[in-house]
């Protein structure tokens, strides 16, 4: 599921709403259930879930309805994308769950190919049984969304491709050099510096500042700079220093995206979680979700990723935590059991 701080788009018809959904999510959904929630006449929340098997439909519907109800919404429209045989049971379950949660269901739509059907309207003049053809290009919504800086990628896979790894042998060699450099740093720390904590923090802060300056200047970080910073970010005081200086700016998203893509798998936990935080703060819930998926696949016990994943799944908007993490950390969720060794 993903949620966003949504752009203001004027929607006057079901076709307009269908045209708006890809820009609300960040990509064109397929085999999905989407809930668009409103407070009065303003869209305040959009969430997407995969179409699930019958055994999982009820649980997924209850969850998405509960999350939607927490957004201050009073009504919602449900849209299913896919063939009728899969969409109809999911639509029925989500409609019932939303009603049980106290929300008015304004409409329930199925989109299959280039046609849509309403499960609420029974008037053949406006909702014919063979479906209503639609062309997103006939709506003013896509143009307004693009003008507002919104992007709709072809699908979720295209979004995940934006953070796919691009490292190689040279990056692996850089990671090995970073390990040797770290060994030397700790060996040179004075006896009064317990476990080299001060030396690690000092080196980490310097590496963060240098990397951000280089990135802001438009220069690409070297393999050694990426490997050294990512290794130092496994030291929590360094990670937290970087976290407190990460917000919802485009610059933050671009910076952490570069580090996540280039880092070795054992070092992606911190940059991936920090990218998710920056994307969430910027209102790019879908990007935050795919970043967290990548992190938790490699490091299922990484606490910051679990915390952010919990926020996204509960649909917590970034505005509710303005000033965080400097203002204090919320309670972190329980760690998942795993045989994998968590990152340092």
The band of 337, judged by pLDDT with boundaries at 50, 70 and 90, is very low
Alpha carbons 193 and 201: distance in angstroms, whole number:
11
Count CB-CB contacts under 10 A for residue 198: 14
Of the chain, the percentage scoring pLDDT greater than 90 comes to 64
| Least confident segment among 8-12, 37-41, 94-98 | 8-12
The band of 126, judged by pLDDT with boundaries at 50, 70 and 90, is confident
Instruction: Name 76's bridge partners.
Output: 37, 105
pLDDT at residue 4 greater than cutoff 60? no
pLDDT at 6: 55
Average pLDDT over residues 269-281: 96
Average pLDDT over residues 67-79: 91
| Least confident segment among 78-87, 151-160, 264-273 | 151-160
In the structure encoding, which two tokens stand for residue 207, read together? 């590496």
Determine if the peptide bond prior to 325 is cis (ω within 30°): yes
Burial of 203 (0-12, 13-18, 19+ CB in 10 A): buried
Count CB-CB contacts under 10 A for residue 5: 16
Average pLDDT over residues 262-270: 97
Say which residue the tokens 């449900």 belong to. 78
Rg (C-alpha) for the chain, rounded Å, is: 23
In the structure encoding, which two tokens stand for residue 318, read together? 């970034």
pLDDT at residue 9 greater than cutoff 80? no
Cα distances from 102 to residues 74, 95, 108, 325, in angstroms, run 8, 11, 16, 33
Q: Is the CB of residue 68 less than 8 Å from the CB of residue 103?
A: yes
Summarize pLDDT for 194-236 with one digit per residue, the tens: 889 999 999 999 999 999 999 999 999 999 999 999 999 999 9
pLDDT at 97: 95
Helix 84-100 to helix 54-69 angle, to the nearest 10 degrees? Answer: 40
Cα distances from 252 to residues 215, 219, 238, 326, in angstroms, run 10, 15, 16, 17
Which of 117, 47, 35 has the alpha carbon at shortest distance from 79?
35
The answer for residues whose C-beta is within 8 angstroms of residue 308's C-beta and 6 or more apart is 273, 276, 277, 280, 288, 292
pLDDT at 316: 85
The answer for residues whose C-beta is within 8 angstroms of residue 335's C-beta and 6 or more apart is 301, 303, 306
Full-model pTM = 0.83
Q: Is the CB of residue 41 less than 8 Å from the CB of residue 73?
A: no
Bridge-based pairing of strands 132-133 and 115-118 is: antiparallel
| Backbone angles phi and psi of 163, in degrees to 5 | -120, 20
pLDDT at residue 42 greater than cutoff 90? no
Alpha helices in the chain (DSSP H): 14-25, 54-69, 84-100, 141-147, 156-161, 169-188, 197-216, 223-232, 236-244, 250-262, 269-282, 285-298, 303-313
The band of 328, judged by pLDDT with boundaries at 50, 70 and 90, is low
Alpha carbons 327 and 296: distance in angstroms, whole number:
26
* Domains of the chain (ranges, CATH numbers): 14-158 (3.40.140), 169-321 (1.25.40)
Alpha carbons 86 and 110: distance in angstroms, whole number:
10
pLDDT at residue 143 greater than cutoff 50? yes
Say which residue the tokens 């989407």 belong to. 34
């Amino acid at each position: 599921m993903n949620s966003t701080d949504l752009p203001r788009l004027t929607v006057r018809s079901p076709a307009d709403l269908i045209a708006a959904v890809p820009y609300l999510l960040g990509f064109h959904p397929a085999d999905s259930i989407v809930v668009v929630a409103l407070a009065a006449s303003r869209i305040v929340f959009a969430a997407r879930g995969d179409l699930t098997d019958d055994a999982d439909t009820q649980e997924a519907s209850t969850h998405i309805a509960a999350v939607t109800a927490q957004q201050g919404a009073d009504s919602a429209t449900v849209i299913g994308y896919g063939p009728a045989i899969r969409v109809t049971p999911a639509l029925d379950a989500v409609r019932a769950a939303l009603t049980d949660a106290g929300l008015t269901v304004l409409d329930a739509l199925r989109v299959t190919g280039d046609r849509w059907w309403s499960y609420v309207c029974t008037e053949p003049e406006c909702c014919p049984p063979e479906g209503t053809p639609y062309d997103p290009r006939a709506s003013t919504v896509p143009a307004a969304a693009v003008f507002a800086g919104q992007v709709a990628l072809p699908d979720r896979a295209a979004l995940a491709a934006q953070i796919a790894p691009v490292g190689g042998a040279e990056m692996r060699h850089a990671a090995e050099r970073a390990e040797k450099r770290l060994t030397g740093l700790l060996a040179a720390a004075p006896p009064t510096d317990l476990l080299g904590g001060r030396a690690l923090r000092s080196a980490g802060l310097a590496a963060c500042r240098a990397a951000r300056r280089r990135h802001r200047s438009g220069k690409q970080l070297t393999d050694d700079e990426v490997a050294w910073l990512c290794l130092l970010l496994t030291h929590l005081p360094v990670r937290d220093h970087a976290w407190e200086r990460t917000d919802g700016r485009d610059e933050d998203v671009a910076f952490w995206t570069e580090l996540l893509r280039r880092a070795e798998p054992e070092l992606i936990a911190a940059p991936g979680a920090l990218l998710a935080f920056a994307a969430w703060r910027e209102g790019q819930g879908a990007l935050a979700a795919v970043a967290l998926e990548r992190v938790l696949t490699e490091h299922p016990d990484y606490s910051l990723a679990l915390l952010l994943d919990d926020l996204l799944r509960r649909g917590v908007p970034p505005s509710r935590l303005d000033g965080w993490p400097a203002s204090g950390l919320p309670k972190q969720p329980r760690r998942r059991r795993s045989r994998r060794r968590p990152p340092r």
